[in-house]
Structure 1
Amino acid sequence: MYQVPKGFPKDFLWGGAVAANQCEGAYECEGKGTSVADINEFRADLPLEKRSNAEISTEYIKAALQNETGIFPKRWGINFKETYSADLKLLGEMGLKLFRTSIDWSRIFPNGDDEEPNEAGLLFYDNLIDEIIANGMEPMITLSHYEIPLNLTLNYTGWYSREVIDFFVRYCKVLLDRYQEKVKYWIVINQINLIGHESFNHLGIAEDKVANLQEAKYQGVHNMMVASAKVTKYAHEVNENYEVGMMLCGGPEYAATCKPEDVLATMKINQMEYFFADVLLRGYYPKYAFRFFEEQGIKIDFVEGDEEALKHTADYMSFSYYYTQICDAQHSEPYRNKALPANQWGWTIDPLGLRILLNSFYDRYQCPIYITENGIGCYDKLEADGSIHDDYRIDYYKAHIQQMKEAIKDGVDLRGYCAWGPIDIISCSSSEMSKRYGFIYVDQDDYGKGSQKRFLKDSYYWMKEVIASNGEKVGQTHEENENKK
């Protein structure tokens, strides 16, 4: 008789996740090339929704490379390339079992199309991975996380160019060969469905280099999925113990009303978010995608061998989860659900949505799942005594962990969970430091000024107890306690 799980699996992997471009720094050091992230400028004069690099031109790129007065925080990060040993020690002491980070493609192949890798870059990752393991954590390595060498944008057309498939596969083979004895878990492409928000960082396609940007984006993702499948095939040939995953930026999107027209519109939007996982986990293009492309006037070029390559599917699904949105038949894009609370950046807080999404994904794919990003960005205050009282973050994690536990009871095969930015890092979307996610505070402002000292927040000690209890000592949220009164 099947027994409903009472809690998290004994071998559940509690983890944290960062990206190389948001934390390492060391811009153009030891042979590193310039990546797309290195031209992300922090603009305090712009509203938050205008600060991300969704679509940019070659003119902007060239100006950014010549800009000597602009603020480009990802070039210095939190100096993690120099401080990783001490930082990982703090995270290991918190009890993390899994540490997800990326390898910066431009640190290994500075131009992307180089014939040979940069050995100095590889030596850094040798040491970093060794340090992750020494602190009791499994490394989970993302092979592409917004670190495309900028040369592939300027002298090619980013992922729109077929040549980039072979360049990327060559880069991945170097890493898969090198870390056979050290790394088990891999994610090939971070949040592969992000072709609207963060589309330039993701695909490296300058808008003025293509005639139809929307079509170029979908062609770029097609090339990316073919490359991902080829990398997955090679990984399984090199090491049968490798577990290779794919990753989405999660939703879900809700219908704004119960009108059938709104429900249908929402279904269509969700389908084209599932599309990327359907290909990478099922091994073929779903028919609804072909209808979407026809209606949008998009032509995807399949080269001979693409369909065969796509049959090499991922071993597990992973996704990020931050917020949900709503849809209706009158709007072409999802929008904020004002019935839900939100952080200062307008990202809604919806713990129940995480349970809904976990069930939706598991029902659809029936494969192991890892949540590889989840967290809340907030303004934190460093007190005079070095403390940071972030009850709001604790409440956020309490509510989401509770819903993860419920999803496991529902039957979802959830294997691990990575809190995003367990140490404060540069924001991906807005390139600011003041949008903080971490359990560890880094004394640094949006302009790179500060002591860079690390301070433990209240949430650090709380999360340490949660991990030690394997998710049992979560407690009640402030709202739940208030409701009991």
Structure 2
Amino acid sequence: MRQVPDGFPKDFLWGGAIAANQAEGAYQEGNKGLCVADILKVQDKGDLKKKSNKETTMADIEYALQDTTGYYPKRYGIDFYHTYKEDLKLLAETGMNSFRTSINWARIFSNGDEDEPNEAGLQFYDDLIDEMLKNGMEPLITLSHYEMPLHLATTYNGWYNRKTIDFFAKFCEACFKRYKDKVKYWIVVNQINLIQHESFNHLGIPEDRVENLVEAKYQGVHNEMVASALATKIGHEINPDFQIGCMVYNGLAEPLTCKPEDVLANLQHNQMEYFFSDLLMRGVYPGYALRYFKEQNIHLDIPEEDEILLKENTADFFSMSYYYTMCTSAESWRTKQNDYGLIKNPHIEESEWGWGINPLGLRTVLNYFWDRYNKPIIIAENGYGTFDTINEDGTIIDDARIHYLATHVEAIREAIIDGVDVVGYFPWGPIDIISCSSSEMKKRYGFIYVDLDDYGQGSGKRIKKKSFDWYKRVIDTNGEDLGL
């Protein structure tokens, strides 16, 4: 009889996660083309809780390309392109045995539609991956993390155009072939269900190029999921040992009350969050989604060959980001409050950026996803973005971050004891990087402080925070000593 696990498995992946567009910089080096993230301007003013990437028009793009006075932080990042050797060596001191980053699509195909990949870009990631391996880190590589070549957005309307499926497949094939003996774990698309908050940044669809933006988003993400299945097929043909996974942002919510109407609304909300992973993990368009599209007057072009490809090439593992949770009610779902139909949970605290802190919710959703798919799960992102202060003695005491992470790791351990096959944990931004949603630097996640402000001013010096030693202790004890 199987025994109840008593904690984290011995081969557990203790890692850290970043994205190329938020860290590398060097946006004009190595024959790199512009990607969609390179036109995002810093949002340094306004309500912290309302900062996010907005819809983008062709006029917005043209303005960003011609703007000589504004600051676009993701063009510069933390200069990881030049400092990755030192940064990985420093991160390795925590004992982390894995590292997640992305391959910037625009480094490999500058415009996205070239016939041949860019050798300088391929060589950079060869060197970066070699450095991970040298530091004892299993690479977890994301192929699409908000780094679509800008040319594909302006010329083809991004994922709305089926031609992008083939462009992406060619990019994936180039990466799979180049790194087939170095990389085992791949995530095809980062947070594939984020089509509201990360619309243009994710799908590359200029809003003034389509008549029905909501319909265009769902068509775009359909094309992207078909491309994911095609990439999975290609990857398994190149190396059958590849583990190729899907990734979502956890958008599951709780009902605001136990009123039957709220419970049903919550189910319907959660179904449309499950939709993306249901299709990638199970390979079939679910009935609830078909009904939703019909009732919302959303018409999708889904050829039969797409359905066959999706059915035959499902993901090997499930991964997700988990930061916060919210609630739904019958009213919020009906009116689509905050785009998603979400409202705050009155029973939990929130961060300065308005993210509801709910570690127990992580255990809950891990059980939900395990029961649904019964495939290995990776926590590909989890973190606490907040302000950090350097004390006079040079220390950075980030106790709030430590408590957030510790309680979430505790929740993962409990889920493992529940029987959930969690195989890896990757805290977001183990070294400070540019914020995805607002392009700020002051919203920090890392165990390592990077001395740069929102405008790239500063020494760039790396400073260990108190959480650095905390994570080292967690890894040393394989999750037994969380300091709680």
**TM bucket normalised to smaller:** over 0.9
Q: Distance in 2 between matches of 1:361 and 1:205?
A: 30
Contact 2:252 2:273 in 1 (8 A): no
Verify the 8 A CA contact 1:97 1:138 in the aligned structure 2: yes
Q: 1:302 matched to which residue of 2? A: 302
Counterpart residue number, 1:153: 153
Shift in Å at residue 206 of structure 1? Answer: 0.5
CA distance in structure 2 between the aligned counterparts of 1:209 and 1:170, rounded to whole angstroms: 25
TM-score (norm 2): 0.97
Indicate the SS of the match to 1:155.
helix
Report matched runs for 1:317-332 at 5 Å.
Answer: 317-331=318-332, 332=336
1:347 aligns with 2:355: yes
1:338 pairs with 2:346: yes
Pairs within 5 Å for 1:322-401? 322-331=323-332, 332=336, 333-401=341-409
In the alignment, the residues of structure 1 paired with residue 344 and residue 72 of structure 2 have an alpha-carbon distance, to the nearest angstrom, of: 29
Cross-structure match for 2:239: 239
Moved more, 47-56 or 337-346: 47-56
Deviation at 1:50, TM superposition (A): 4.7
Find the residue that maps to 2:331 and give its secondary structure.
Answer: coil
Q: Which residue of 2 aligns with 1:220?
A: 220
The alpha-carbon deviation at position 28 of structure 1 amounts to: 1.6
- Displacement after TM superposition at 1:304 (Å): 4.1
Aligned with 1:141: secondary structure?
strand
Is 1:130–2:134 an aligned residue pair? no
Residue 459 (structure 1) aligns with: 467
What SS does structure 2 have at the residue aligned with 1:362? helix
For the Cα contact (< 8 Å) 1:43–1:71, is it kept in 2?
A: no
Counterpart position of 1:186: 186
Which stretches in structure 1 are left out of the alignment for 5+ residues? 477-485
* Mapped contact 2:48–2:352 kept (Cα < 8 A): no
2:102 corresponds to which letter in structure 1?
A: S
Q: Identify the residue that residue 271 of structure 2 maps to in structure 1.
A: 271
Q: Which residue of 2 aligns with 1:6?
A: 6
Q: Which residue is equivalent to 2:87?
A: 87
How big is each residue's C-alpha offset from its partner over 1:202-225, in whole Å with a ceiling of 9 and x where there is no partner?
A: 100010000000000000000000
1:237 counterpart SS class: helix
1:470 counterpart residue number: 478
Alignment partners' CA distance in 2, 1:147 and 1:420: 18
Query: 1:195-210 counterparts in 2 under 5 A?
Result: 195-210=195-210
Q: Which residue matches 1:480?
A: none
Q: Deviations over 1:295-315 (max 9, x none)?
A: 000011012410111020000
CA contact (8 A) 2:5 2:416 kept: yes
Q: 1:294, 1:284 → 2: CA distance?
A: 17
State the partner residue of 1:256.
256
Moved more, 202-211 or 1-10: 1-10
In the TM superposition, what is the alpha-carbon distance from 1:49 to its structure 2 partner?
A: 4.8
Q: Is the 8 A contact 1:189 1:246 kept in 2?
A: yes
Q: Secondary structure at the match of 1:77?
A: coil
Question: Which residue is 1:430 aligned to?
Answer: 438
1:251–1:357: 8 Å Cα contact kept in structure 2?
no
Q: Percent identity?
A: 60
Unaligned runs of 5+ in 2: none
**AA at the equivalent of 1:255:** P
Task: Give SS of 1:420's match.
Answer: coil
Contact 1:95–1:468 (8 Å) recurs in 2: yes
User: Deviations 1:102-155 (Å, cap 9, x if unpaired)?
Assistant: 000001101011111111111110100000000000000000000001111111
Match of 1:169 in 2: 169
Write the distance in 1 (CA, Å) between the matches of 2:91 and 2:443.
Answer: 20
Q: Which amino acid aligns with 2:69?
A: T
Partner of 1:17: helix, strand, or coil? coil
| Aligned CA distance change for structure 1 residues 350 and 77 (closer, same or farther; 3 Å) | same
Change (3 A) 1:91 1:392: same
Q: Alpha-carbon deviations, 1:311-332, whole Å to 9, x = none?
A: 2000000000000000001112
Q: Which moved more, 1:150-159 or 1:336-345?
A: 336-345
Tell whether the 8 Å contact from 1:423 to 1:440 is kept in structure 2 after alignment: yes
Measured in 2, the distance between the counterparts of 1:122 and 1:90 equals 24
386-395 vs 47-56, greater mean Cα deviation: 47-56
Q: Hey, what's the Cα distance between the residues in 2 that align with 1:416 and 1:44?
A: 34
Are the aligned partners of 2:431 and 2:450 in contact in 1 as well (CA < 8 Å)?
A: yes
The answer to whether the 8 Å contact 2:148/2:204 transfers is yes
Q: Is contact 1:85–1:131 with CA below 8 Å preserved after alignment?
A: yes
Q: AA paired with 2:448?
A: I
Q: Contact 1:252–1:353 (CA<8 Å) still a contact in 2?
A: no
Q: What amino acid maps onto 1:439 in structure 2?
A: F
User: Cα offset for 1:42?
Assistant: 0.8
Give the corresponding residue for 2:315: 314
CA contact (8 A) 1:15 1:99 kept: yes
Cα pair distance change 1:50/1:393, threshold 3 Å: closer
1:341-388 Cα offsets, whole Å, 9 max, x none, are: 111101111000000000000010011000000010010001232210
1:275-308 alpha-carbon deviations (Å, 9 max, x no partner): 0000000011001100000000001101241011
**Counterpart code for 1:130:** D
Q: Is the 8 A contact 2:142 2:189 kept in 1?
A: yes
Give the AA of the match of 1:23: A
Secondary structure at the aligned position of 1:455 is classed as strand
SS of equivalent residue, structure 2 residue 433: coil
Q: How many residues align?
A: 476
